Structure 1
Amino acid sequence: MRHSLLKNITRAGTDRGRSASPSQKDHIHSLISKLESLCPLSEPARDPRINGPWVVLYTDAPPPSNGQLMLWRGVAKQVIDLEGGRYRNELYVGGSGIDEDQDPWLKAVLDASWEEWDGVYLDDSKGKAASADYGASTWKVTFERLSISLFDLPIFTQQFKQGTARTWKMTFLDDSTRVVRAGKTGKEEDDWLFYMRRGN
């Protein structure tokens, strides 16, 4: 199944999802859903294998989460510190190496913290998801700061408004693959899909 997924993502010219046609997206999402149904873990968000770097191979999320910054397209990388409760979303343009993160001319880093989600939606509806152990699969990720550098020289830094957060639902995890559905509220209808491989 993963071979078919990678073929549809990398060989079909989807550019990590940025150039995928509606029919390509439908097919890729169907394959990912099948993979999610095979997840062997009951608590993927607490599994130690989630720690470390993950490279985004496919997403239907908008920029910059999809590895695009303004007109420039690169690679997005998520780096998780499980023990410290920290998270970075890194974007590299013009890099080299296996993860395309070596010596980029443009780099953006979003620093954040995470905690287990309590099930309360992150909007004004004040609703709550159906009763469950939310933290077993889902984090609340709170954005802190965005930094952009050009040829390793800092050119822009932005502090996020306090309380700016997203939910991360870990729907598949093993040694080499991770699938996340991330959204603004925690409601399924606003989730973006991320399919990742283990980074270096």
Structure 2
Amino acid sequence: MKLMLSLQHVFLVVLATVLIFPSSSSSLSLPNSPGTGTTSRSLSTLKKQIGAVLPPRNGVGASAEACSKVTSLSSQLEELNPTLNPATDNMKKSSGSWKVEFSDAPPPSNGQLGPFVGTAIQKIDTATKTYSNILDLPPIKVQLDASYSPLDSSRLKVSFETLSFTLLGKQLIKKSLPTGTTRTWCLTYVDDDTRIVRAGAAGGKVNGVVSDQAEDAFFFYMTKINTN
């Protein structure tokens, strides 16, 4: 009984986080052209440098200096984005499962659930225009399911639909989210094995607005999970 009450409490915390996370209504336009002078060598070098400074635990509890190293190098990578129109013509580049290696987003998006940190995965199905945010913390799994549609060539409108909680493979709770629970995802970098997404609501750090209400307030650095 105590375990069930604890799990229900955790579920409610996750649900509250989803609903409180700011909704989107923005006209921010991000660059969608491939970076000038992009080379495979420069991209590979930057990704190796980022990999070398990634803090443990998806960045949870990392120092400001450690986080700054990741975001600074990632900004350089974003400038060399090799994929044109990542939210429309080349959305298939984002298809598949992606592991969150680093994020400055609040729990549970960063993989944190209470005092624990698990594996955060984003699974995208471009055929059905759906995706799932999955937090895997054995024996617990939290899954947030959503659909998406392009706002422009580099941004998606994401509509969250259901939140479920599984223990030992058995689904305990599934909750439909209120209609209109939407967010903006800015696809700032994508190639065959790496994605960078900035998510949030209106405004934007790239416009000089530093706010949790910003469209690009939260940063995600992800790598492709090989399912072969």
Fold-level match, TM-score > 0.5? yes
**Counterpart of 2:222?**
196
From 50, 69, 76, the equivalent of 1:5 is: 50
1:46-90 superposed Cα distances (whole Å, 9 cap, x missing partner): 312111111100000010101112232101100111121101001
Q: Does 1:25 align with 2:67?
A: yes
Q: Check conservation: 2:141, 2:166, Cα contact below 8 A.
A: yes
Counterpart CA distance in 2 for 1:186 and 1:154 is 37
TM-score, normalization: structure 1? Answer: 0.81
Q: Does 1:107 align with 2:152?
A: no
What is the CA distance between 1:159 and its match in structure 2? 1.6
TM-score, normalization: structure 2? Answer: 0.71
1:18-45 superposed Cα distances (whole Å, 9 cap, x missing partner): 1210111111110000000000222012
> Unaligned stretches of 5+ in structure 1?
94-103, 118-134
**Counterpart of 2:112?**
68
**Counterpart of 1:39?**
81
1:103-154 superposed Cα distances (whole Å, 9 cap, x missing partner): x31101101000012xxxxxxxxxxxxxxxxx21100000011001111122
Q: Check conservation: 1:166, 1:186, Cα contact below 8 A.
A: no
- Structure whose residues are more often strand by fraction: 1
Amino acid at match of 1:77: I
**Counterpart of 1:89?**
133
**Counterpart of 2:42?**
none
Amino acid at match of 1:6: G
Identity of aligned residues (%): 38
- Structure whose residues are more often helix by fraction: 2
What is the CA distance between 1:5 and its match in structure 2? 0.4
